[in-house]
Amino acid sequence: MDGLLIVISGFSGSGKGTILNRLLKDYDEYVFSVSMTTRAPREKEVNGKDYFFVTREEFEKAIKEDGFVEYAEYCGNYYGTPKAYVEEQLKNGKSVILDIEVQGAMQIKEKFPDALMVFVAPPSIDVLLQRLRARGTETEEVIQKRILRAKEEVERIDKYEYLVINDNLDKAVSELHQMAEAAKFSTKRLSKFMAKIKTELNNI
C-alpha cells in the first residue's frame, strides 16, 4: 500500500519545524519533502536540505512544466512541493511530510482526500510573538506580515482534522506520531479495500 501523506501547517513561529525535525530523527518511516522557494535563504539554511532556493523565473518554469503537487504565494514569495519526490516516496510506502501553509494545504486536500491534515498551534499568542522575535532571523516588517497571515490562517483551522498544541516538544512529537498511526486505518484511506468488500458482499 502507498505511504501516508501528512500535511503540517501552523503559524510562523508555532515551532512546527522543531517538532518535525524530532519526528524525522526518532522514526525511520517518515521522510520530509523539501520545498522549492523564491525566498532568500536565512543564515544556517542549506540549499537542498531546508529548501531548494530558486529564482522566480526558475519557479515559474517548474509551474509550467507541472512540476508541483501544490504551490502558493506567501508574504511575497513562491513556495511549492516538487511532485516527483512525493510520488516516489509514497510508492515506496514512506509517510511523506509536507510543511506547507494553508492555501497549499487546501490544494493537497482536494488532490489527496486521504492525506492527514494537522495544524500546529502555539499554547498562546504571547508565546508565538516571543518565538518569532527570539528567532532574530526576520525584520519587524516581515514579522508584522507573518502576524497578518496568521490572522487569515486562524480562520481556516477547522479545515484540518487534528490540532497539536505545542507546549511540550516530547508530547507534541508523540501526539503527531499517534495521529499518523491512526490515520493509516482511516476508512478514507482504506477506501479501495472497502469497495472490494462491498462488491464481494453484493455478489453473494
Interacting residues with ligand 5GP (CB under 6 A) = 12, 35, 39, 70-72, 74, 79-81, 99-101, 103-104
Q: Is the Cβ of residue 28 or residue 65 nearer to ligand 5GP in the bound state? A: 65
Q: Is the Cβ of residue 1 or residue 45 nearer to ligand 5GP in the bound state? A: 45
Q: Is the Cβ of residue 136 or residue 187 nearer to ligand 5GP in the bound state? A: 136
Smallest separation, CB 103 to ligand 5GP (Å): 6
The residue among 137, 179, 201, 171 whose CA lies nearest residue 30 is 179
Q: Is the Cβ of residue 144 or residue 186 nearer to ligand 5GP in the bound state? A: 144
Residue 138: DSSP 8-state? S
Q: How far apart are the C-alpha atoms of 67 and 65, rounded to whole Å?
A: 5
Smallest separation, CB 73 to ligand 5GP (Å): 9
Smallest separation, CB 165 to ligand 5GP (Å): 17
Smallest separation, CB 168 to ligand 5GP (Å): 21
Q: Is the Cβ of residue 4 or residue 7 nearer to ligand 5GP in the bound state? A: 7
User: Which residue's CB atom is positioned nearest to ligand 5GP?
Assistant: 104
Lateral strand order in the sheet of 95-99: 30-32, 95-99, 5-10, 116-121, 162-165
Other C-beta atoms closer than 10 Å to the C-beta of 109 total 17
Q: Is the Cβ of residue 4 or residue 54 nearer to ligand 5GP in the bound state? A: 54
The residue among 65, 124, 114, 70 whose CA lies nearest residue 90 is 114
Smallest separation, CB 125 to ligand 5GP (Å): 17
Lateral strand order in the sheet of 68-74: 51-53, 35-37, 77-82, 68-74
Are the C-beta atoms of 92 and 3 separated by less than 8 Å?
yes
Smallest separation, CB 86 to ligand 5GP (Å): 10
| Cα 138–Cα 55–Cα 107 angle in degrees, nearest 5 | 80
